[in-house]
Amino acid sequence: MGEFVRVETAEGIATIRLDRPKMNALNRQVQEEIAACARQVDADPGVHAVVLYGGERVFAAGADIKEMADMSYADMAAHSAVLQDCFTAVAEIGKPVIAAVTGYALGGGCELALCADIRIAGESARLGQPEILLGIIPGAGGTQRLPRLVGPARAKDLIFTGRHVPAAEALQIGLVDRVVPDADVYTEALAYAATFAGGPALALRAAKQAVDRGLEVDLNSGLEMERLQFSALFATEDAKIGMRAFAEKSQAKFTGR
């Protein structure tokens, strides 16, 4: 439990809650706390799905510019590794991760949302990578995760212009997966996360790893990853439970083993 980031867990769902007034600026302390919370929920067998949430007003407006403004090249060369490690820790949570995006998700805030598997945004949400307007580029995955999600041309448009993307356009280009009324963002994210509670945890982790790692390699290598993950699941108790329940036309009660 950090000063600005905390984990709230209920019924198998963990919420990683950012709470640094007033815009959830992602300074070094917040980054480190996000990474610690990500590793905590990843290691907790009682957590089946994770929601990233910044509160009713804002998801995260980006990095703490005041903190970065006086950094030298040497300072940022060292700090950028910490920055990327923070977001990588979120991306590597081996469970379904849903970003509940309200208000602004800009710069580092957008990059944090990109680390989720699913993004649910409010109707008034705004997403973007405005770093170019500061004379820099995204440094926490924006130039890598964004084009993998929306394609290189659209990613370049957003990165080159630094413009804010409204929720409706974000949905159209695939930057978010669902748009709901602002007041419903968190409840919708929790409801979606709840569909994984009690699910086959090992299979979900394997599926996530196969998709994410497969995108980094050629098709044949990806297919081999899939084959190995698929085969390995036949050594799990959950696979036996799931197939037995199917044959018996009953509801599977997975154990996560």
Confidence check: pLDDT of 82 > 80: yes
Summarised one tens digit per residue, pLDDT across range 237-247 is 999 999 999 99
Instruction: Please indicate, yes or no, if residue 61 is contained in any of the structural domains.
Output: yes
Pairing of strands 97-101, 49-53: parallel
Prediction pTM value? 0.94
Q: Which CATH number fits the domain that encloses residue 92?
A: 3.90.226.10
Q: Which of 8, 33, 123, 131 is catalytic?
A: 131
Residues 28 and 133 in one domain: yes
Report whether 51 contacts 90 (CB < 8 A). no
Pick the last residue of a domain from 151, 177, 194.
194
Split at pLDDT 50, 70, 90, the class of 83 is: confident
Active-site residue flag, 131:
yes
Q: End-to-end CA distance of the chain, in Å?
A: 28
Residues 118 and 17 in one domain: yes
Residues 151 and 179 in one domain: yes
Instruction: Please indicate, yes or no, if residue 257 is contained in any of the structural domains.
Output: no
Residues 127 and 240 in one domain: no
User: Dihedral (C-alpha) 190, 191, 197, 203: value to the nearest 10 degrees?
Assistant: -100
Number of neighbouring beta carbons within 10 Å of residue 166: 17
239: its two tokens: 């696979």
186: its two tokens: 């968190």
Instruction: Please indicate, yes or no, if residue 164 is contained in any of the structural domains.
Output: yes
Q: Which CATH number fits the domain that encloses residue 241?
A: 1.10.12.10
- Give the 3-state secondary structure of residue 2: coil
Residues 58 and 117 in one domain: yes
With DSSP H G I counted as helix, E B as strand and the rest as coil, what are the percentages for the chain, rounded to 5?
Answer: 50, 15, 30
Q: Which of 8, 32, 56, 111 is catalytic?
A: 111
Summarised one tens digit per residue, pLDDT across range 215-254 is 999 999 999 999 999 999 999 999 999 999 999 999 999 9
Residues 206 and 187 in one domain: no
Residues 93 and 220 in one domain: no
Q: Read off the amino acid at residue 90.
A: V
Instruction: Please indicate, yes or no, if residue 256 is contained in any of the structural domains.
Output: no
Residues 212 and 242 in one domain: yes
**E strand or H helix at 253, and its extent?**
none
Report whether 176 contacts 127 (CB < 8 A). yes
Which residue in this structure is represented by tokens 């990500």?
A: 38
Summarised one tens digit per residue, pLDDT across range 6-56 is 999 999 999 999 999 999 999 999 999 999 999 999 999 999 999 999 999
Domain count, the chain: 2
- For residue 230, give its domain range: 201-248
- Give the 3-state secondary structure of residue 52: strand
User: Dihedral (C-alpha) 16, 21, 24, 26: value to the nearest 10 degrees?
Assistant: -110
Residues 19 and 129 in one domain: yes
Which residues face 25 on adjacent strands? none
Residues 149 and 32 in one domain: yes
Cα 238 from Cα 13, distance rounded (Å): 20
Cα torsion 100, 203, 216, 44: sign: positive
Instruction: Please indicate, yes or no, if residue 137 is contained in any of the structural domains.
Output: yes
Split at pLDDT 50, 70, 90, the class of 64 is: confident
